[in-house]
Structure 1
């Protein structure tokens, strides 16, 4: 049975009589870090005293804001806090993880049990449910920034970032044959996690992505998705006041290059309203946007594909004047014209053909048998031999997230099927021509009002290559444009004293606008260059020059 908003209050009143505990099973895949405990003891360790827990519904409401209401819900053996606020009447935050009275333990108890974790859903108008998984900073959670991470697609789960790139644990396979299918999966500690110095929120959006689900309808455009994300951030910080005054940074990669400018626009616009209104929910302490190998300005970025594939040091074609390169240039020139026309008229009869034209140019590149996200690698797409998106780890993540034990601990419905990427969502956005709008322009007023923006890219990515990303940053018409165009590419030296890339910036500290290229990295920079990515993050969050370390 899935969650019904209308039934929340009634169910909460009946919680003590309908409660049933789902005890963790003995499993070689998902242990609770203490194999010496008996099953009843494990239940007590994870769930705590249920009766006293239910009697302390307000215990974890830190610095409660006016109008915030908290009720209890027990459903399918999972305990939830349900939070509402009149500022967002169509939204409710349903939280799985609550400290249990008498034990101090939390639920879930996965990935990195050394830190506090919170998981649950943002319920939207009774029918749409966005899943999130939050990890406190390993360092100073009361002081460290709050960081939102989104993966792209559109339609791909942010659990990819969590378990394969920058989360506190990394997915692993215990299969005896590393080239074959995973027979069992687990996670290992990630020493280079972005949670080292940040409180990180991983959000599956829009609905239909990962553990997120919809009872009816879907979201097929970034502006609508941005409204949901803003409501989520407001309700989360209202519920967990200890993070409310911390700096907020929003980050992500790939199609998040389209999501994030829209989200930044909504947060920035709503913050301006709240600075002059009497609304009880305070504005978010919004500080910066970080986009990795993103797609934000399609005309410029698609036009750069022939330059990358044929003329750059990372070219995938040996002959820049050969028929393959000439054909690619012709296709992308047409794509660029259609994209620019879409910018001007904003009509689906122009924008959808532009979308199809631009993506069709990648067909001949896929025929090369390369991993489009990291051209240093081959990819066998036959029957997904190399896994979804040419990474076996995507399949391992699906195995892990579809475990009944993991679903139970995270509060996900037992009948949901987790997929790393939902291609139906991808097609919905495609035929809405969502990608074919210049979302980068939404960053201009944000930057002008002091919100910093970092664009970074691994140089071995062909899908959203670093050349196109740098070109669109060059074109961004802000008061920093002249300074950025005159900036010199400065070596980025990581903490191990190696040159890991180059940086260009304009403004103070790390820059009000900055671009970074990362060497020996593809589409997923934190996975390929974990130390350099962590150095980049730490310097950016502290607003220190990104090229530090020379």
Structure 2
């Protein structure tokens, strides 16, 4: 199994938004006061060798376990789900935070860490960010890419990230499915398909919005990376269909449920339509912006191209029958025959401009991921985040990776979920760094071209337009967009991020923040600051 996991994980490493108006509402309550000035007697519950204390104070429920005080949030529509939260000050003490768990029955516990926006959180959208893997923690995105802090050398500390997405958005980082990162299960409970994982995320969102009703009126965006290209469509579909069911429900039939204002889906270097994307591997490796092989007509490239027909035949069988018996062989063959040779070159497949010494840099070619494990396993970090001190954190869980692989989940067509969402007005952004080979930019552009929707004809006719950042006016890549009117970012948009690998916010932090800020504000990506000022007949200082 180890050989299988090593082949799969490089392809499937993966990584969402709502607005949060601030008011006079208390964020998490004063936990210290709650523990000292109880309005009701505490109840002691013995679980194994642990003593769990529960009490109610001013209408809110609290508990204490592992010497950590949590606020508990329940929901009338989700009898088996509850939130268990605390209020950390790690990473960025200048903003309000929440961390803890979505507890599902007694066996599944999903860890989350939430940050309010640095600027005007009351007006900022809310983003749910997901890394992929499958089996990789969204803390990777937090501490390595777009969070308010970056992991420091050797995992001894964290440093301020001036280009965090929290400059423009309120962001939730969620570790899912169960057993990823700090998430954990009691006993043998596991999740091994994207649709099952999506229902748990929907329940989390409803409980989160119930606890923080000020977010209910703002826009919500799902952002995901790599294998998150499988997660995001499934989660968005679950949210959309639950919204539709809620709209049809008689008054009072769904107590406490709210319409989630899903505004867009953002996928970075994702795997979403593997039939199209796997076939693009030879083109990206041999003729791409940063080719792996020097000679596009050489023996390595010729050998890669010979594998495409069999890969496509197997993928089509998976698409047609949607069974692990057809999807597992497709996943195995395409990964081993198309991605395997590239891994064997010694290049970092997440950024082929770099070499990869796995003995020093780890299986995923970035020593920073090992630093993240170190910092997240510090006792002080665990206590601050409301994590059982006995839990061990790992950036990626290979057992989860294998479980998904053995269901053939990574060969399924999740793009088929998107046309219904796009047709309903949910905007779609696909962006990809052009130095990535794990989920390359060529395949991402191609599958978006083939996505059937009312915007397809217009999108196919578009040509790439330059994208220039607003802050410094630097060229950052190319944009194709359909459905916009010249004053919006469009309904279906593709962005090729120049000189970036798999983790765009890590390689191009300034450009990444420009991209996400403009997308969330529904501002065109193809106009520079001067052009926008002219278009809007306003002074440049007003941008």
CA contact (8 A) 1:122 1:129 kept: yes
The Cα shift of 1:48 comes to 3.6
Is the 1:387–1:393 Cα contact (8 Å) retained in structure 2? no
Partner of 1:334: 310
Q: Output one character per residue of 1:12-31: Cα deviation in whole Å (capped at 9) or x when no partner.
A: xxxxxxxxxxxxxxxxxxxx
Q: In the alignment, what sits opposite 1:536?
A: 515
Is the counterpart of residue 131 in structure 1 residue 111 in structure 2?
yes
- Which residue is equivalent to 1:8? none
How far apart in 2 are the matches of 1:532 and 1:54?
A: 49
* 1:119 aligned to which of 80, 99, 112: 99
| Other-structure match for 2:75 | 85
Aligned to 2:343: 366
Whole-angstrom distance in 2 between the partners of 1:380 and 1:53 = 56
1:140 positional shift = 1.3
How much is the aligned-residue C-alpha RMSD, in angstroms?
1.5
Q: Distance in 1 between matches of 2:38 and 2:437?
A: 52
**Contact 1:109/1:409, CA 8 A, preserved across alignment:** yes
Distance 2:429 2:423 in 1: 14
SS in 2 for 1:74: strand
Matched, 1:546 2:525: yes
Post-superposition offset of 1:388: 4.1
| Deviation digits for residues 76-121 of structure 1 (CA, Å, limit 9, x no counterpart) | 1111111111211221111122xxxxxxxxxx12000000010010
1:437 aligned onto 2:409: no
- 1:312 CA displacement: 2.3
**1:155 maps onto 2:130 in alignment:** no
Question: Which residue does 1:271 correspond to in 2?
Answer: 243
Instruction: Identify which of 471, 489, 497 aligns with 1:518.
Output: 497
Asked if residue 200 in structure 1 is aligned to residue 171 in structure 2, the reply is yes
Conservation of the 8 A alpha-carbon contact between 2:95 and 2:118 = yes
Between the aligned partners of 1:138 and 1:330, the Cα distance in structure 2 is 51
Are the aligned partners of 1:151 and 1:160 in contact in 2 as well (CA < 8 Å)? yes
Offset of 1:143 from its aligned partner? 1.6
Displacement of 1:55 = 4.6
Whole-angstrom distance in 2 between the partners of 1:301 and 1:484: 18
Whether the 8 Å contact between 2:290 and 2:353 is mirrored in structure 1 is no
- Match status 1:489 vs 2:469: no
TM-score with structure 2 setting the length: 0.85
Q: In 1, distance between residues paired with 2:193 and 2:144?
A: 26
* Residue 259 (structure 1) aligned with residue 249 (structure 2): no
Q: Is the 8 A contact 2:223 2:267 kept in 1?
A: yes
Match in the other structure for 1:75: 65
In structure 1, how many angstroms separate the alpha carbons of the residues matched to 2:75 and 2:123? 26
1:187 to 150, 158, 167: 158
Alignment check: 8 A CA contact 2:480 2:493 kept:
yes
The equivalent residue for 1:455 is 430
Distance 2:292 2:415 in 1: 28
Structure 1 segment 360-439 matched on structure 2, within 5 A: 360-361=336-337, 362-382=339-359, 385-439=360-414
How far has the Cα of 1:53 moved from its partner?
6.1
Q: For the residues of structure 2 that align with 1:90 and 1:288, how far apart are their CA atoms? A: 29
Extract structure 1 runs of 4+ deviating beyond 4 A.
Answer: 52-57
How many angstroms apart in 1 are the aligned matches of 2:361 and 2:243?
Answer: 45
- Which structure carries more relative contact order (alpha carbon 8 Å, separation 6+)? 2
Contact 1:256 1:294 in 2 (8 A): yes
**How many residues are treated as equivalent by the alignment?**
473
Q: Secondary structure at the match of 1:288?
A: strand
TM-score scaled by length of structure 1: 0.84
